[in-house]
């Protein structure tokens, strides 16, 4: 295949499916992402770091959104139980001698349509970014893979820094995904 028409200087894309340390003339994802200088390659590596950090941000946003809608639900159930308890004590003439109405167990939480659409959208963005990162890793460029690792470390450092809930079971971890997406 003749690639001589690609690029302004007539240089061809260097694509290797084996481990490599290529910089100049490397192409990633498409021929329009052809590295023509060391500064362009450095910018690409920095961009990959930020891309992987954005994946960690999306994971955190999804987790925070789930917490938010669950807290909303728990507040709603608590207000219903308070209302039922208050109504029970008003209606009962023996409220001083009888124990308060038992708190009703909360039914299992199921997000409404809008909440599930938001959750699915966040998951779709996570999936798309993770897939794009996987495609970049498949170029087997050492610098790009190191950039992916650096972005994962910085992203996890920043976006997973939170309080850890110990539920008495050691070895469990709250995670939105079980694998890599």
Mean pLDDT by runs of 10 across the 181 residues of the chain is: 49 89 93 95 98 98 95 85 62 54 71 97 98 96 98 97 71 49 51
CA distance linking residue 13 with residue 16, whole number of Å: 10
Q: What is the pLDDT of residue 163?
A: 80
How do the domains of the chain map onto residue ranges? 1-38, 54-92+99-159
Half-sphere CA count of 6, side-chain side, radius 13 A: 17
Beta strands (DSSP E) in the chain are 27-28, 30-34
pTM of this prediction exceeds 0.85: no
Residues 6+ apart with CB under 8 A from 125: 58
Helix axes 142-159, 38-91, angle to 10 degrees: 30
**Can you give the pLDDT at residue 77?**
84
Task: Please list the helix, strand and coil fractions of the chain in percent, rounded to the nearest 5, in that order.
Answer: 55, 5, 40
> Could you give the C-alpha distances from 9 to 14, 25, 26, 33, 59, in angstroms and in order?
14, 10, 14, 14, 41
Asked whether 11 and 34 are in contact (CB, 8 A), the reply is yes
pLDDT digits (tens, 9 = 90+) for 56-100: 999 999 999 999 999 998 888 888 767 666 665 555 555 555 555
Do 59 and 181 meet the contact criterion of CB atoms below 8 Å apart?
no
**64-71: long-range contacts (C-beta < 8 A, 24 or more apart)?**
65/118, 65/119, 65/122, 66/119, 66/176, 69/109, 69/111, 69/115, 70/109
Main-chain dihedrals φ then ψ at residue 32, nearest 5 degrees = -75, -15
Residue 20 β-bridge partners: 141
């Amino acid at each position: 295949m003749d690639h001589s028409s690609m690029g302004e200087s007539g240089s061809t894309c260097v694509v290797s499916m084996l481990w490599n340390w290529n910089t100049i003339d490397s192409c990633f994802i498409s021929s329009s992402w052809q590295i023509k200088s060391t500064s362009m390659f450095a910018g690409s590596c920095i961009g990959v770091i930020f891309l992987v950090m954005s994946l960690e941000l999306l994971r955190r946003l999804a987790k925070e959104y789930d917490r938010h809608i669950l807290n909303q639900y728990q507040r709603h159930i608590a207000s219903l139980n308070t209302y039922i308890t208050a109504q029970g004590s008003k209606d009962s003439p023996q409220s001083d001698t009888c124990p308060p109405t038992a708190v009703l167990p909360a039914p299992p939480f199921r997000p409404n349509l809008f909440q599930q659409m938001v959750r699915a959208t966040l998951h779709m963005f996570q999936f798309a970014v993770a897939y794009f990162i996987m495609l970049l890793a498949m170029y087997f460029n050492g610098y790009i893979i190191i950039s992916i690792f650096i972005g994962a470390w910085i992203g996890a450092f920043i976006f997973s820094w939170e309080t850890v809930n110990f539920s008495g079971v050691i070895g469990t971890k709250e995670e939105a995904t079980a694998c890599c997406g």
